[in-house]
Structure 1
Amino acid sequence: MGQGLRERKKQELRQAISDEATLLFVERGFEQVTIAHIAEAVGVAKMTVTNYFPRKEDLVFDEHERLTRRLAGTAVERRPGETVLDALRRDYADSAAAGDELLGATSRGFAGLVESSPVLLARLREILDQQERALADALVAEAPDQPLAARLVAAQLAAVHRILWYEAHRQVLAGVTPERIFPVLGAAAEDAFAGLARLYQGDDRVLKRRPASE
Protein backbone atom coordinates (compact mmCIF):
# COMPACT_ATOMS: atom_id res chain seq x y z
CA MET A 1 0.00 0.00 0.00
CA GLY A 2 1.46 3.36 -0.99
CA GLN A 3 2.15 6.11 1.52
CA GLY A 4 -0.58 8.29 0.03
CA LEU A 5 -3.21 5.57 0.34
CA ARG A 6 -2.16 4.75 3.92
CA GLU A 7 -2.42 8.40 4.91
CA ARG A 8 -5.83 8.71 3.27
CA LYS A 9 -7.13 5.64 5.09
CA LYS A 10 -5.79 7.01 8.39
CA GLN A 11 -7.53 10.32 7.79
CA GLU A 12 -10.76 8.53 6.87
CA LEU A 13 -10.63 6.49 10.08
CA ARG A 14 -9.85 9.59 12.13
CA GLN A 15 -12.84 11.39 10.63
CA ALA A 16 -15.09 8.37 11.17
CA ILE A 17 -14.12 8.22 14.84
CA SER A 18 -14.74 11.94 15.30
CA ASP A 19 -18.08 11.85 13.46
CA GLU A 20 -19.37 8.88 15.45
CA ALA A 21 -18.19 10.38 18.73
CA THR A 22 -19.94 13.66 18.01
CA LEU A 23 -23.20 11.86 17.21
CA LEU A 24 -22.98 9.97 20.50
CA PHE A 25 -22.12 13.11 22.43
CA VAL A 26 -25.07 15.02 20.96
CA GLU A 27 -27.41 12.11 21.67
CA ARG A 28 -26.29 11.26 25.22
CA GLY A 29 -24.16 14.15 26.46
CA PHE A 30 -20.40 14.57 26.49
CA GLU A 31 -19.82 13.35 30.04
CA GLN A 32 -22.03 10.27 29.61
CA VAL A 33 -20.14 8.85 26.62
CA THR A 34 -16.90 6.95 27.24
CA ILE A 35 -14.01 6.10 24.95
CA ALA A 36 -15.20 2.48 25.14
CA HIS A 37 -18.63 3.50 23.80
CA ILE A 38 -17.01 5.28 20.87
CA ALA A 39 -14.62 2.44 20.10
CA GLU A 40 -17.48 -0.05 20.10
CA ALA A 41 -19.62 2.13 17.82
CA VAL A 42 -16.78 2.51 15.29
CA GLY A 43 -15.58 -1.08 15.62
CA VAL A 44 -12.03 -0.33 16.75
CA ALA A 45 -9.99 -0.78 19.92
CA LYS A 46 -10.03 1.88 22.65
CA MET A 47 -6.31 2.41 22.05
CA THR A 48 -7.04 3.27 18.42
CA VAL A 49 -9.37 6.07 19.54
CA THR A 50 -6.85 7.47 22.01
CA ASN A 51 -4.01 7.20 19.48
CA TYR A 52 -5.91 9.55 17.18
CA PHE A 53 -7.41 11.68 19.96
CA PRO A 54 -5.36 11.75 23.20
CA ARG A 55 -7.85 14.26 24.64
CA LYS A 56 -11.50 13.31 24.72
CA GLU A 57 -12.52 16.94 24.04
CA ASP A 58 -10.73 16.86 20.69
CA LEU A 59 -13.10 14.20 19.45
CA VAL A 60 -15.48 17.17 19.30
CA PHE A 61 -12.92 19.80 18.27
CA ASP A 62 -11.26 17.60 15.66
CA GLU A 63 -10.19 20.70 13.65
CA HIS A 64 -8.48 22.34 16.62
CA GLU A 65 -5.01 22.27 15.05
CA ARG A 66 -6.20 24.07 11.92
CA LEU A 67 -8.10 26.60 14.03
CA THR A 68 -5.10 27.19 16.29
CA ARG A 69 -2.72 27.78 13.37
CA ARG A 70 -5.13 29.68 11.15
CA LEU A 71 -4.28 33.30 12.02
CA ALA A 72 -0.55 32.73 12.29
CA GLY A 73 -0.53 30.88 8.98
CA THR A 74 -2.42 33.69 7.27
CA ALA A 75 0.04 36.24 8.67
CA VAL A 76 3.14 34.30 7.67
CA GLU A 77 1.86 33.45 4.18
CA ARG A 78 0.37 36.85 3.38
CA ARG A 79 0.76 38.37 -0.05
CA PRO A 80 3.61 40.70 -1.05
CA GLY A 81 2.75 44.28 -0.09
CA GLU A 82 0.05 43.15 2.34
CA THR A 83 -0.04 43.99 6.06
CA VAL A 84 -0.96 41.40 8.67
CA LEU A 85 -4.22 43.24 9.32
CA ASP A 86 -5.11 43.30 5.62
CA ALA A 87 -4.32 39.59 5.30
CA LEU A 88 -6.55 38.62 8.24
CA ARG A 89 -9.27 40.96 6.97
CA ARG A 90 -9.17 39.34 3.52
CA ASP A 91 -9.07 35.81 4.92
CA TYR A 92 -12.09 36.40 7.16
CA ALA A 93 -14.10 37.88 4.31
CA ASP A 94 -13.25 34.92 2.08
CA SER A 95 -14.09 32.44 4.83
CA ALA A 96 -17.44 34.08 5.58
CA ALA A 97 -18.32 34.09 1.88
CA ALA A 98 -17.42 30.39 1.67
CA GLY A 99 -19.47 29.46 4.77
CA ASP A 100 -16.49 28.14 6.72
CA GLU A 101 -17.73 26.50 9.94
CA LEU A 102 -14.45 27.34 11.66
CA LEU A 103 -15.88 30.85 12.07
CA GLY A 104 -18.32 29.36 14.58
CA ALA A 105 -21.53 29.00 12.56
CA THR A 106 -21.94 25.28 13.07
CA SER A 107 -25.00 23.09 13.50
CA ARG A 108 -27.38 23.75 16.38
CA GLY A 109 -26.73 20.27 17.75
CA PHE A 110 -22.98 20.88 17.84
CA ALA A 111 -23.39 24.31 19.44
CA GLY A 112 -25.76 22.87 22.03
CA LEU A 113 -23.29 20.09 22.82
CA VAL A 114 -20.50 22.58 23.48
CA GLU A 115 -22.74 24.88 25.51
CA SER A 116 -23.94 22.02 27.71
CA SER A 117 -20.44 20.93 28.77
CA PRO A 118 -18.13 23.00 31.00
CA VAL A 119 -15.27 20.79 29.83
CA LEU A 120 -15.92 21.59 26.16
CA LEU A 121 -16.38 25.31 26.85
CA ALA A 122 -13.04 25.34 28.66
CA ARG A 123 -11.37 23.54 25.77
CA LEU A 124 -12.86 26.03 23.30
CA ARG A 125 -11.45 28.94 25.32
CA GLU A 126 -8.08 27.19 25.37
CA ILE A 127 -8.09 26.71 21.59
CA LEU A 128 -8.95 30.35 20.94
CA ASP A 129 -6.25 31.43 23.39
CA GLN A 130 -3.74 29.20 21.58
CA GLN A 131 -4.82 30.82 18.32
CA GLU A 132 -3.92 34.25 19.71
CA ARG A 133 -0.59 33.05 21.11
CA ALA A 134 0.39 31.47 17.77
CA LEU A 135 -0.37 34.75 15.99
CA ALA A 136 1.59 36.68 18.61
CA ASP A 137 4.61 34.40 18.18
CA ALA A 138 4.47 34.94 14.40
CA LEU A 139 4.35 38.72 14.81
CA VAL A 140 7.16 38.73 17.38
CA ALA A 141 9.30 36.74 14.94
CA GLU A 142 8.78 39.51 12.37
CA ALA A 143 9.29 42.35 14.85
CA PRO A 144 11.71 41.02 17.51
CA ASP A 145 12.55 44.56 18.61
CA GLN A 146 8.86 45.22 19.45
CA PRO A 147 7.69 42.06 21.29
CA LEU A 148 5.14 43.77 23.53
CA ALA A 149 3.65 45.78 20.66
CA ALA A 150 3.45 42.60 18.59
CA ARG A 151 1.57 40.73 21.31
CA LEU A 152 -0.84 43.63 21.85
CA VAL A 153 -1.57 43.78 18.13
CA ALA A 154 -2.08 40.01 18.03
CA ALA A 155 -4.54 40.26 20.91
CA GLN A 156 -6.59 42.88 19.08
CA LEU A 157 -6.61 41.02 15.78
CA ALA A 158 -7.42 37.68 17.40
CA ALA A 159 -10.20 39.31 19.43
CA VAL A 160 -12.12 39.95 16.22
CA HIS A 161 -12.15 36.22 15.49
CA ARG A 162 -12.85 35.23 19.09
CA ILE A 163 -15.75 37.63 19.66
CA LEU A 164 -17.36 36.81 16.33
CA TRP A 165 -16.94 33.07 17.00
CA TYR A 166 -18.95 33.43 20.19
CA GLU A 167 -21.51 35.61 18.42
CA ALA A 168 -21.96 32.95 15.74
CA HIS A 169 -22.31 30.32 18.48
CA ARG A 170 -24.96 32.46 20.23
CA GLN A 171 -26.95 32.96 17.04
CA VAL A 172 -26.84 29.26 16.18
CA LEU A 173 -28.23 28.43 19.63
CA ALA A 174 -30.98 31.00 19.06
CA GLY A 175 -32.04 29.10 15.94
CA VAL A 176 -30.56 31.37 13.27
CA THR A 177 -29.40 29.39 10.25
CA PRO A 178 -25.74 29.53 9.14
CA GLU A 179 -26.86 30.95 5.79
CA ARG A 180 -28.13 34.03 7.64
CA ILE A 181 -25.24 34.17 10.09
CA PHE A 182 -22.31 34.27 7.67
CA PRO A 183 -23.26 37.60 6.02
CA VAL A 184 -23.64 39.14 9.50
CA LEU A 185 -20.22 37.85 10.50
CA GLY A 186 -18.65 39.17 7.33
CA ALA A 187 -20.10 42.64 7.82
CA ALA A 188 -19.16 42.77 11.50
CA ALA A 189 -15.61 41.64 10.76
CA GLU A 190 -15.23 44.28 8.05
CA ASP A 191 -16.31 46.98 10.51
CA ALA A 192 -13.94 45.67 13.18
CA PHE A 193 -10.92 45.40 10.90
CA ALA A 194 -11.65 48.81 9.38
CA GLY A 195 -11.65 50.28 12.88
CA LEU A 196 -8.31 48.66 13.68
CA ALA A 197 -6.90 49.90 10.37
CA ARG A 198 -7.79 53.45 11.35
CA LEU A 199 -6.25 52.91 14.78
CA TYR A 200 -2.95 51.73 13.29
CA GLN A 201 -2.87 54.09 10.34
CA GLY A 202 0.71 55.24 9.74
CA ASP A 203 2.13 52.92 12.41
CA ASP A 204 4.08 50.09 10.77
CA ARG A 205 6.12 48.92 13.74
CA VAL A 206 4.29 45.60 13.75
CA LEU A 207 1.76 45.69 10.91
CA LYS A 208 4.50 45.66 8.32
CA ARG A 209 3.87 45.05 4.65
CA ARG A 210 5.48 41.97 3.22
CA PRO A 211 8.19 43.04 0.74
CA ALA A 212 7.35 42.32 -2.88
CA SER A 213 10.62 40.40 -3.24
CA GLU A 214 9.56 37.68 -0.77
Structure 2
Amino acid sequence: MNNLGTDRRTRKRLATRQAISNVATRLFMERGFDQVTIDEIADAADVGRMTVFNHFPRKEDMFFDREQDGHDLAFEAIRSRAPGTSPVQALGVLAHQMIEEPSDAFPLFADTRTFVETAQASEPLKARARQMRDDFVRALAGVLADGVGRAADDPEAYLAAGLIAATWSIAFTRAHAELSATGNVEAAKGIFLGLIDRGVIGTHAALGGTPFSGAV
Protein backbone atom coordinates (compact mmCIF):
# COMPACT_ATOMS: atom_id res chain seq x y z
CA MET A 1 0.00 0.00 0.00
CA ASN A 2 2.81 2.39 0.82
CA ASN A 3 4.42 1.81 -2.57
CA LEU A 4 1.08 2.20 -4.30
CA GLY A 5 0.46 5.42 -2.43
CA THR A 6 3.90 6.73 -3.32
CA ASP A 7 3.43 5.82 -6.99
CA ARG A 8 0.05 7.54 -7.03
CA ARG A 9 1.50 10.69 -5.48
CA THR A 10 4.36 10.64 -7.96
CA ARG A 11 1.99 10.31 -10.91
CA LYS A 12 -0.17 13.11 -9.55
CA ARG A 13 2.87 15.36 -9.06
CA LEU A 14 4.14 14.69 -12.58
CA ALA A 15 0.67 15.25 -14.04
CA THR A 16 0.39 18.59 -12.23
CA ARG A 17 3.83 19.62 -13.46
CA GLN A 18 2.95 18.72 -17.04
CA ALA A 19 -0.37 20.54 -16.83
CA ILE A 20 1.36 23.70 -15.61
CA SER A 21 3.97 23.40 -18.35
CA ASN A 22 1.32 22.91 -21.04
CA VAL A 23 -0.66 25.95 -19.91
CA ALA A 24 2.46 28.10 -19.63
CA THR A 25 3.68 27.07 -23.07
CA ARG A 26 0.32 27.92 -24.65
CA LEU A 27 0.27 31.35 -23.01
CA PHE A 28 3.89 32.06 -23.95
CA MET A 29 3.28 31.13 -27.58
CA GLU A 30 0.09 33.20 -27.75
CA ARG A 31 1.27 36.36 -26.01
CA GLY A 32 5.04 36.24 -25.65
CA PHE A 33 7.08 35.20 -22.64
CA ASP A 34 7.51 38.63 -21.06
CA GLN A 35 3.81 39.44 -21.25
CA VAL A 36 2.68 36.42 -19.17
CA THR A 37 2.79 36.48 -15.37
CA ILE A 38 3.12 33.64 -12.88
CA ASP A 39 -0.31 34.50 -11.46
CA GLU A 40 -1.88 34.18 -14.92
CA ILE A 41 -0.26 30.77 -15.37
CA ALA A 42 -1.46 29.63 -11.96
CA ASP A 43 -5.01 30.79 -12.67
CA ALA A 44 -5.10 29.13 -16.09
CA ALA A 45 -3.74 25.87 -14.65
CA ASP A 46 -6.14 26.08 -11.68
CA VAL A 47 -3.35 25.80 -9.10
CA GLY A 48 -1.88 28.12 -6.51
CA ARG A 49 1.06 30.43 -7.17
CA MET A 50 3.26 28.44 -4.75
CA THR A 51 2.37 25.20 -6.56
CA VAL A 52 3.80 26.70 -9.73
CA PHE A 53 7.03 27.63 -7.93
CA ASN A 54 7.23 24.19 -6.31
CA HIS A 55 7.48 22.65 -9.76
CA PHE A 56 9.32 25.47 -11.57
CA PRO A 57 11.56 27.67 -9.39
CA ARG A 58 11.91 30.18 -12.25
CA LYS A 59 9.50 31.32 -14.90
CA GLU A 60 12.12 30.52 -17.55
CA ASP A 61 12.11 26.89 -16.42
CA MET A 62 8.56 26.51 -17.71
CA PHE A 63 9.65 27.63 -21.16
CA PHE A 64 12.74 25.41 -21.27
CA ASP A 65 11.15 22.44 -19.53
CA ARG A 66 12.80 19.94 -21.92
CA GLU A 67 16.33 21.00 -21.01
CA GLN A 68 17.22 17.89 -19.00
CA ASP A 69 15.62 15.63 -21.58
CA GLY A 70 17.95 17.11 -24.18
CA HIS A 71 20.97 16.50 -21.99
CA ASP A 72 19.92 12.92 -21.36
CA LEU A 73 19.42 12.30 -25.08
CA ALA A 74 22.91 13.57 -25.93
CA PHE A 75 24.63 11.68 -23.13
CA GLU A 76 22.84 8.43 -23.98
CA ALA A 77 23.92 8.79 -27.61
CA ILE A 78 27.53 9.00 -26.44
CA ARG A 79 27.33 6.13 -23.97
CA SER A 80 25.48 3.77 -26.33
CA ARG A 81 27.39 4.63 -29.50
CA ALA A 82 28.40 1.89 -31.91
CA PRO A 83 31.92 0.39 -31.74
CA GLY A 84 34.38 2.46 -33.74
CA THR A 85 32.36 5.65 -33.32
CA SER A 86 33.81 8.61 -31.46
CA PRO A 87 31.66 10.69 -29.07
CA VAL A 88 31.72 13.58 -31.55
CA GLN A 89 30.55 11.30 -34.37
CA ALA A 90 27.85 9.84 -32.11
CA LEU A 91 26.32 13.28 -31.66
CA GLY A 92 26.49 13.83 -35.41
CA VAL A 93 24.58 10.59 -35.89
CA LEU A 94 22.06 11.77 -33.30
CA ALA A 95 21.46 14.97 -35.28
CA HIS A 96 20.64 12.96 -38.39
CA GLN A 97 18.35 10.66 -36.42
CA MET A 98 16.47 13.62 -34.95
CA ILE A 99 15.81 14.93 -38.46
CA GLU A 100 15.06 11.61 -40.14
CA GLU A 101 13.00 10.17 -37.27
CA PRO A 102 11.58 13.19 -35.39
CA SER A 103 10.17 12.58 -31.94
CA ASP A 104 7.27 14.34 -30.24
CA ALA A 105 9.70 15.67 -27.64
CA PHE A 106 12.11 17.22 -30.18
CA PRO A 107 10.33 17.89 -33.49
CA LEU A 108 13.15 19.90 -35.04
CA PHE A 109 11.94 22.53 -37.52
CA ALA A 110 8.46 21.01 -37.79
CA ASP A 111 6.81 22.72 -34.80
CA THR A 112 9.60 24.79 -33.27
CA ARG A 113 9.46 28.02 -35.27
CA THR A 114 7.16 29.88 -32.86
CA PHE A 115 9.10 28.52 -29.88
CA VAL A 116 12.40 29.89 -31.21
CA GLU A 117 10.93 33.24 -32.24
CA THR A 118 9.38 33.61 -28.79
CA ALA A 119 12.74 32.88 -27.15
CA GLN A 120 14.57 35.34 -29.38
CA ALA A 121 12.08 38.10 -28.50
CA SER A 122 12.79 37.87 -24.75
CA GLU A 123 15.98 39.08 -23.05
CA PRO A 124 15.38 36.89 -19.95
CA LEU A 125 14.98 33.82 -22.16
CA LYS A 126 18.12 34.64 -24.16
CA ALA A 127 20.05 35.03 -20.91
CA ARG A 128 18.69 31.72 -19.63
CA ALA A 129 19.62 30.04 -22.93
CA ARG A 130 23.21 31.20 -22.46
CA GLN A 131 23.25 29.79 -18.93
CA MET A 132 21.84 26.51 -20.22
CA ARG A 133 24.57 26.30 -22.83
CA ASP A 134 27.23 26.82 -20.17
CA ASP A 135 25.61 24.15 -18.01
CA PHE A 136 25.50 21.75 -20.95
CA VAL A 137 29.17 22.30 -21.77
CA ARG A 138 30.13 21.60 -18.17
CA ALA A 139 28.02 18.44 -17.99
CA LEU A 140 29.14 17.20 -21.42
CA ALA A 141 32.78 17.77 -20.53
CA GLY A 142 32.26 15.57 -17.49
CA VAL A 143 30.70 12.78 -19.58
CA LEU A 144 33.50 12.96 -22.16
CA ALA A 145 36.24 13.02 -19.53
CA ASP A 146 34.70 10.11 -17.64
CA GLY A 147 34.65 8.07 -20.85
CA VAL A 148 38.45 8.25 -21.15
CA GLY A 149 39.29 8.14 -17.47
CA ARG A 150 40.18 11.79 -17.08
CA ALA A 151 39.15 14.28 -14.40
CA ALA A 152 35.85 16.11 -14.88
CA ASP A 153 37.66 19.45 -15.24
CA ASP A 154 40.03 18.20 -17.97
CA PRO A 155 40.81 21.17 -20.30
CA GLU A 156 40.66 19.12 -23.49
CA ALA A 157 37.32 17.65 -22.46
CA TYR A 158 36.04 21.21 -22.04
CA LEU A 159 37.42 22.14 -25.46
CA ALA A 160 35.63 19.16 -27.00
CA ALA A 161 32.38 20.00 -25.23
CA GLY A 162 32.61 23.66 -26.18
CA LEU A 163 33.18 22.89 -29.85
CA ILE A 164 30.29 20.44 -29.89
CA ALA A 165 27.95 22.91 -28.19
CA ALA A 166 29.00 25.71 -30.56
CA THR A 167 28.36 23.50 -33.58
CA TRP A 168 24.86 22.56 -32.45
CA SER A 169 24.00 26.12 -31.41
CA ILE A 170 25.10 27.65 -34.71
CA ALA A 171 23.49 24.89 -36.76
CA PHE A 172 20.20 25.30 -34.92
CA THR A 173 20.07 29.10 -35.05
CA ARG A 174 21.08 29.35 -38.72
CA ALA A 175 18.58 26.71 -39.71
CA HIS A 176 15.86 28.63 -37.90
CA ALA A 177 16.96 31.86 -39.56
CA GLU A 178 16.35 30.15 -42.90
CA LEU A 179 12.99 28.85 -41.68
CA SER A 180 11.88 32.29 -40.49
CA ALA A 181 12.97 33.92 -43.75
CA THR A 182 11.56 31.40 -46.22
CA GLY A 183 9.29 28.98 -44.37
CA ASN A 184 11.16 26.18 -46.14
CA VAL A 185 11.44 23.31 -43.64
CA GLU A 186 13.53 21.11 -45.91
CA ALA A 187 16.03 23.90 -46.55
CA ALA A 188 16.29 24.48 -42.78
CA LYS A 189 16.97 20.78 -42.20
CA GLY A 190 19.64 20.82 -44.90
CA ILE A 191 21.43 23.78 -43.33
CA PHE A 192 21.25 22.16 -39.90
CA LEU A 193 22.73 18.83 -40.99
CA GLY A 194 25.30 20.46 -43.28
CA LEU A 195 26.67 22.57 -40.42
CA ILE A 196 26.57 19.63 -38.01
CA ASP A 197 28.58 17.50 -40.45
CA ARG A 198 31.15 20.27 -40.96
CA GLY A 199 31.33 20.78 -37.21
CA VAL A 200 32.06 17.09 -36.65
CA ILE A 201 34.95 17.26 -39.11
CA GLY A 202 36.28 20.48 -37.61
CA THR A 203 35.98 19.25 -34.04
CA HIS A 204 37.87 16.06 -34.86
CA ALA A 205 40.61 18.10 -36.48
CA ALA A 206 40.88 20.40 -33.47
CA LEU A 207 41.07 17.43 -31.11
CA GLY A 208 43.71 15.53 -33.06
CA GLY A 209 46.13 13.77 -30.73
CA THR A 210 43.66 13.70 -27.84
CA PRO A 211 41.56 10.74 -26.68
CA PHE A 212 38.46 12.64 -27.81
CA SER A 213 39.31 12.49 -31.52
CA GLY A 214 39.15 8.72 -31.73
CA ALA A 215 36.64 5.99 -31.01
CA VAL A 216 37.29 5.85 -27.29
Aligned ranges 1:53-202 → 2 under 5 Å: 53-99=56-102, 102=106, 105=109, 106-141=111-146, 142-144=148-150, 147-200=154-207
Partners of 1:103 and 1:144 lie apart in 2 by: 35
Tell me the CA shift for residue 161 of structure 1.
Answer: 1.0
Count matched residues: 209
Per-residue deviation, 1:69: 4.1
Q: Is the 8 A contact 1:39 1:45 kept in 2?
A: yes
Higher relative contact order (CA 8 A, sep 6+): 1
CA 1:179 to 1:7, structure 2 compared with 1: closer, same or farther past 3 Å?
A: farther
Tell me: CA distance 1:13–1:155, structure 2 relative to 1, closer, same or farther (3 Å).
same
Quote the offset at 1:179 in angstroms: 4.8
Distance 1:103 1:165 in 2: 12
Structure-to-structure mapping, 1:25-40, within 5 angstroms:
25-40=28-43
Q: Unpaired runs of 5+ in structure 2? A: none
Report if the CA contact (8 A) 1:57-1:119 is conserved. yes
SS at match of 2:177: helix
Change (3 A) 1:34 1:164: same
1:59 deviates by: 0.9
2:17 aligned with 1:10, yes or no? no
Q: Is the 8 A contact 1:21 1:59 kept in 2?
A: yes
8 A contact 2:171–2:193 mirrored in 1: no
Taking a change above 3 Å as real, the CA distance of residues 38 and 179 of structure 1, as seen in their structure-2 partners, is: farther
The amino acid of 1:176's aligned partner reads: G
Query: How far apart are the structure 1 equivalents of 2:113 and 2:177?
Result: 10
Q: Identity rate of aligned residues, in percent?
A: 32
Q: 1:118 offset after TM fit, Å?
A: 0.1
**Residue 110 (structure 1) shift:** 1.8
1:153 Cα deviation (Å)?
A: 1.6
TM-score (norm: length of structure 1): 0.82
Question: Is contact 1:69-1:131 (8 Å) kept?
Answer: no
CA–CA distance in structure 1, aligned partners of residues 125 and 79 of structure 2: 29
